[in-house]
Structure 1
């Protein structure tokens, strides 16, 4: 199958190794991966902050970039949820009905990584090897909007060498929420403190998830605590093999002078 990789703007800017891992994984499973050069933002951050009209040309660009793709895969539940639940609605509200129809059709061929692996390819064992103690955080958009359910957990359970430990209160938000973390910093920090406390209670080496945004938020907090627990995207774990282990990257931002957060677990 020829798969179009939607890198997402955050992954491209902050953690490009996640996109590389996604491509490596899909190629290892026998598929051709292409990266359409015209792709950019999906428009989620504009819609979520009230700039719906400004999001219309962004939606149009996304539809153009991926037109004709047999399947589109993204390592982001958040962006895929936006494609499914926002793009067509935003275009239709602006009176761009032809664009809305195109966006809706494109959404039907767009998948979050774990959805694509389990539901489309029908695999849970991707041949991965990752000898670490890992806990999984189900991100809000993947959990509540895409309803990926236990698909990521099925994939993690099949990884050789991986010790998967359940995260207490896993369904609780980490506090990121895009601009929510900026506009409601104190609330966001309190929510992050709860999430970090639950992650650390598992004694996991790694906290994983399907969204780089949440991992950057959690990873930033854990790094400031000097906890030793890292955040690693699900795609990076699934791309790791015994023969060629993916470098143990952390999705926490690099901090040369870590500081103590306002609220710690």
Structure 2
């Protein structure tokens, strides 16, 4: 997950009114993320398989140990939490329970509204993908769909006109049908280009700019590039083997064996 999504999920799970905290679940987290650390009630710092610090984030931040040097702020008020008596905790639990009951009446409405999505989310995604790229992608999609769906209508009009006056305006109908075919092909190709090259590239740069995720993205890119190069190499070898087998089929019978070996090498290389 990117940094924004990580913060959102961790806050809704472990935050002040998170799901797991409301249900009083005990959670053990192992993380290097400062924002997730700040959501904990108690922290344990390990070094060389030994515990060097253990306490609440607020207490550790006031000290001079490892946690105090990280420079983050505690998001959860542990002092308030630890000062509560059992009676006050029961009162808080009853308050949360009443809030849950009040929220049940709006659950159905919330679920219905979520089906329509959130306009701000769409604006955020489109802005990171690039307004011009998304606009051109939609335009070419419309061109592709129009050309594809309107071609049968043209054929129908052509058939009706041909039934009245056979073979009249043949060049016009063929030209219109050919133009629609070219426009449909152009629209589909351009839409795929903007989606796969432009939109995905911009989205990857702007939405996934977390430095912690860059090594995994680089590794994935290198892996896909190597797979692509292996596929090209195997294609060239397969063409050479098939061409040799077809050209000199009466001189050698090892073509099928060589072709099978090439395909087997391709599958083994892809797995490695």
Instruction: Report TM bin, short chain.
Output: under 0.3
- Which structure has the greater CA radius of gyration? 2
Higher helix share: 2
TM-score, normalised relative to structure 2: 0.20
Point out which structure has higher relative CO (alpha carbons under 8 A, 6+ apart).
1
Q: Which protein is richer in strand relative to its size?
A: 1
